[in-house]
Amino acid sequence: MHKFLQLFKIPDLRKKILIILGLLIATRILAAVPIPGVDVSRLQEFFASNQLFGFLNIFSGGGLSNFSLAMLGVGPYITATIVMQLLTIIFPSLKRAYYEEGPQGRAKFNRISRYLTVPFAVIQGYSFMKLLASQGVIPPLALSDMFSNVLIITAGSVLLMWIGEIISEYKLGNGVSLIIFAGIVSGLPTFVTQSFATYSPQMLFTYVTYLVVAVVVIAGVVFISEGERKLPVTYAKQVRGNKLYGGASSYLPLKVNQAGVIPIIFAISLLLFPQFLAQASVIISQDFALRLTGYVAMFYNNILAYSAFYFLLVVVFTYFYTSVTFDPGEIAKNLQRSGGFIPGIRPGEATAAHIRHTVGRITLFGALFLGLVAVLPNLTQLATGVQALTLGGTSLLIVVSVALETMKQLESQLTMREYEGIF
């Protein structure tokens, strides 16, 4: 509590916090302003009955269910970033720019991601409007109305991306993550209201069980998010002139959950593809499109089959994304250059193989955890039979992860100022 109050006693830190809060409030206003001519109540019913789009609604901060100016949220920017990370596998020059050129390489990487955000926003905005129109959720739009709406939606996504980058510059947390965090937290009052509206004395045991499970899940999210395997590292002694350097022991931290929530986003994107494919097939044949849509709907309505496939996708993508973003060979080279080695392991390729083997083993626990978190809403719905009581595992993972990261950033800011006072 003392440190929390201390945040507002430091003028420049207080100013940063108030500016970030103001920007987050601005994102919530954008997410609440609907595009004219849309039946918002029908939209919200559609998203409440469709779990996949309900998940995407989380990343838009509720803007998608409102068909707002910022209906896509930071989704296009996240997609662009994911595509850029995948492209580092195909283009070695891009990988070198991201991993070896330091801040300049990352600035170039982020600049290309921003450019890609615009076409992704156009494609996603157009696709969602066509999909909602085909489902009868919104009225069919004329070409001019479609063009103006796509333009507005794209501008909203770019504006949110810009706000996210401004927040990141204050170094009190990742701007995009904080925007998503604000969107999830803003839905808590509605969730509490719905829970009280469906309450009855006969359901007391269900509600108590729900609260206990929620606490256990939050504790599990914290445990896995902070969990890491420490590989011991020893640095060889070196003589420089008349002095002896090195000989110190340290460790290499390997996080259990290297991938964060990215595998869940990948899995959702792949699960959405059949739905978009079914809608697009109307160009070929309307009967075929209706038949394919029926098959897709049948699969999505089978909670057990859908959950099992979803779980498998998350596990596979966790391994895939970890292998893309974590390079044991590069870490082994850096250790060798600095005179470090893992005791009992030869430097070079043997060290890389050891790190790769260790990461593969601990990633299994992270992958299973992410898969369980992803299907948690389905499991709670099957167990309780209450639609209003669905533990949003992905939402909890995002909220807890962002809260922990922001706390660390604030802690570092306070520590830095304490050192400034000492010196």
| pLDDT > 60? residue 221 | yes
Burial of 322 (0-12, 13-18, 19+ CB in 10 A): buried
Q: What is the mean pLDDT of residues 135-153?
A: 77
Distance CA 389, CA 53 (A): 18
pLDDT band for 278, please (50, 70, 90 cuts).
low
Please indicate, yes or no, whether residues 17 and 125 belong to a single structural domain of this protein. yes
Q: What is the pLDDT of residues 114-130, one digit of tens each?
A: 888 898 888 878 777 77
Residue 419, helix vs strand vs coil: helix
Please indicate, yes or no, whether residues 138 and 286 belong to a single structural domain of this protein. no
| pLDDT > 80? residue 260 | no
Please indicate, yes or no, whether residues 382 and 351 belong to a single structural domain of this protein. yes
Q: What is the mean pLDDT of residues 103-121?
A: 82
The reply to whether 140 falls in a domain is yes
Distance CA 12, CA 8 (A): 9
Total number of domains in the chain: 2
* The predicted structure's pLDDT at residue 238: 62
Would you say the C-alpha torsion 140, 142, 144, 147 has a positive or negative sign? positive
Strands 243-245 and 249-255 come out as unpaired
* The predicted structure's pLDDT at residue 38: 66
Residue 140 belongs to domain spanning: 1-186
The conformation of residue 54, written as its DSSP 8-state character, comes to H
The reply to whether 200 falls in a domain is no
* The predicted structure's pLDDT at residue 392: 61
Alpha-carbon dihedral 283, 288, 290, 292, rounded to 10 degrees: -110
* The predicted structure's pLDDT at residue 241: 59
Residue 345, helix vs strand vs coil: coil
What are the beta bridge partners of residue 228?
255
Please indicate, yes or no, whether residues 61 and 137 belong to a single structural domain of this protein. yes
| pLDDT > 50? residue 359 | yes
Between 22-36, 76-90, 218-232, 383-397, the lowest mean confidence (pLDDT) is in 383-397
| pLDDT > 80? residue 362 | yes
Please indicate, yes or no, whether residues 254 and 331 belong to a single structural domain of this protein. yes
Confirm if 179 and 165 have CB atoms less than 8 A apart.
no
The reply to whether 233 falls in a domain is yes
Structure tokens at 345: 């392991």
Please indicate, yes or no, whether residues 97 and 215 belong to a single structural domain of this protein. no
* The predicted structure's pLDDT at residue 422: 43
| Highest mean pLDDT pick, 50-59, 239-248, 293-302, 364-373 | 364-373
The reply to whether 401 falls in a domain is no
* The predicted structure's pLDDT at residue 423: 42
pLDDT band for 281, please (50, 70, 90 cuts).
low
Please indicate, yes or no, whether residues 241 and 148 belong to a single structural domain of this protein. no
Radius of gyration of the chain (CA): 24
Please indicate, yes or no, whether residues 113 and 172 belong to a single structural domain of this protein. yes
The reply to whether 423 falls in a domain is no
Structure tokens at 140: 């069919």
Please indicate, yes or no, whether residues 158 and 213 belong to a single structural domain of this protein. no
| pLDDT > 60? residue 420 | no
Does 148 or 287 have the greater pLDDT score? 148
Confirm if 78 and 268 have CB atoms less than 8 A apart.
no
Q: What is the CATH number of the domain that holds 37?
A: 1.10.3370.10
| pLDDT > 70? residue 14 | yes
**Of all residues in the chain, what percent are helix, strand and coil, respectively (each to 5)?**
75, 5, 20
* The predicted structure's pLDDT at residue 229: 85
Q: What is the pLDDT of residues 157-203, one digit of tens each?
A: 889 889 988 988 887 878 888 888 888 787 777 767 766 676 667 66
Q: What is the mean pLDDT of residues 221-249?
A: 72
Q: Final residue of a domain: which of 186, 219, 235?
A: 186
| pLDDT > 60? residue 1 | no
Distance CA 117, CA 176 (A): 13
Q: What percent of the chain shows pLDDT beyond 90?
A: 0
Q: Final residue of a domain: which of 153, 186, 219?
A: 186
* The predicted structure's pLDDT at residue 202: 66
| Highest mean pLDDT pick, 104-118, 233-247, 408-422 | 104-118
Please indicate, yes or no, whether residues 181 and 330 belong to a single structural domain of this protein. no
Q: Final residue of a domain: which of 137, 152, 186?
A: 186
Please indicate, yes or no, whether residues 213 and 182 belong to a single structural domain of this protein. no
Which residues lie below 8 Å from residue 15, measured CB to CB, with a gap of 6+? none
The reply to whether 244 falls in a domain is yes
The reply to whether 163 falls in a domain is yes
Between 149-153, 279-283, 410-414, the lowest mean confidence (pLDDT) is in 279-283
The reply to whether 381 falls in a domain is yes
| pLDDT > 70? residue 334 | yes
Please indicate, yes or no, whether residues 20 and 153 belong to a single structural domain of this protein. yes
Structure tokens at 354: 């050891």
Mean pLDDT, all residues of the chain: 76
